[in-house]
Amino acid sequence: MRRFFSPLCVKLYALLALFLALFYAWPHALRSDWNRERLYRQLLSGTEKERIAAAENLVAYSGREQLLKALQSDSAPVRTVAMSALFDPWVAEEGEEAASLLQVAGNSIERKNIQGALNHLTRLTRMHPFFAEGWNRRATLLWQLGQVEQSLADCRKAVLLNPEHFAAWQGMGLCQVRLGDLAAATKSFQHALKLIPHDRQTQLYLRWAEDTLKREKQMQPKQVGPKGELV
């Protein structure tokens, strides 16, 4: 029995125990708040290559919060990398089948087979009704086809499933503008800007909607109350 507890064996056992502890603790360490914040700082201040690597690792290690925070950055390159990275988990969240159908629909669009793409996306939304990106992609295609009310319905489903989907909020606002509901469009653009505050196009849409609403309100005739006062 003594040979199992010699000084050398004790050291080997200790090293083995340390290795096993690190082996099992490492995956948790990668997903720790400390590591995600480290990657976030790298995303903000690293080189282009380092930013891309940091964003990819944040996707792998459940760093959604950090990627959303990066959308608030004053740096356009940082925002671009973070925005691109956010779509990866959105596309993958329903598994390979859903992601594959998205790709098939995208290929149909590239081949100008719009009806085929619409059929694939409709099938996707039926098979995976809780897949926000599926609804968002179909909303985009319906908008392009001029089916604004149907596009708006799909945008609503997308943001209900994923309230952080800034593209769906933008799409909803555009649909509401086209349908003449500027008050609702203003709220949709405001939601989008909470997520992507530096997006110039959305800022312009919001400003136009707000200014148009003000002009319409000013042009409304004044009504006389029961005591002759203007209301």
CA dist 192 and 73 (Å) reads 15
Cα angle 84, 87, 93; round to 5: 155
DSSP 181: -
DSSP 224: B
Digits of tens for pLDDT over the chain (231 positions)? 455 556 655 555 555 544 444 444 435 554 578 889 999 999 999 999 999 999 999 999 889 999 999 999 999 999 999 999 999 999 999 999 999 999 999 999 999 999 999 999 999 999 999 999 999 999 999 999 999 999 999 999 999 999 999 999 999 999 999 999 999 999 999 999 999 999 999 999 999 999 999 998 888 766 545 555 555
Give pLDDT, residue 24.
43
Which structure tokens are listed for 95? 């598994």
Task: Write the CB contacts of 133 (distance below 8 Å, at least 6 apart in sequence).
Answer: 87, 90, 91, 93, 94, 102, 158, 162, 165
Give pLDDT, residue 12.
53
pTM listed for this prediction: 0.81
**What residue spans of the chain are helical by DSSP H?**
7-30, 33-45, 48-60, 64-70, 76-92, 96-110, 114-127, 132-144, 148-161, 166-178, 182-195, 200-219
- Ramachandran assignment for 222, one of left (phi > 0), alpha (psi -120 to 50 degrees), beta (any other): beta
Give pLDDT, residue 62.
85
Give pLDDT, residue 131.
97
Domains defined for the chain, CATH in brackets: 30-90 (1.25.10), 93-216 (1.25.40.10)
The model's pLDDT over 37-52, given as tens digits with 9 standing for 90+, comes to 999 999 999 999 999 9
Q: Are 211 and 180 in contact (CB under 8 A)?
A: no
Which structure tokens are listed for 182? 């500027």
Task: Write the CB contacts of 30 (distance below 8 Å, at least 6 apart in sequence).
Answer: 60, 61
Task: State the CB neighbour count (10 A cutoff) for residue 97.
Answer: 12
DSSP 32: S
Closest C-alpha to 36, from 76, 64, 2? 64
Residue 117 buriedness (CB in 10 A; 0-12 / 13-18 / 19+)? buried
Give pLDDT, residue 80.
95
Strand-pair partners of 224: 230
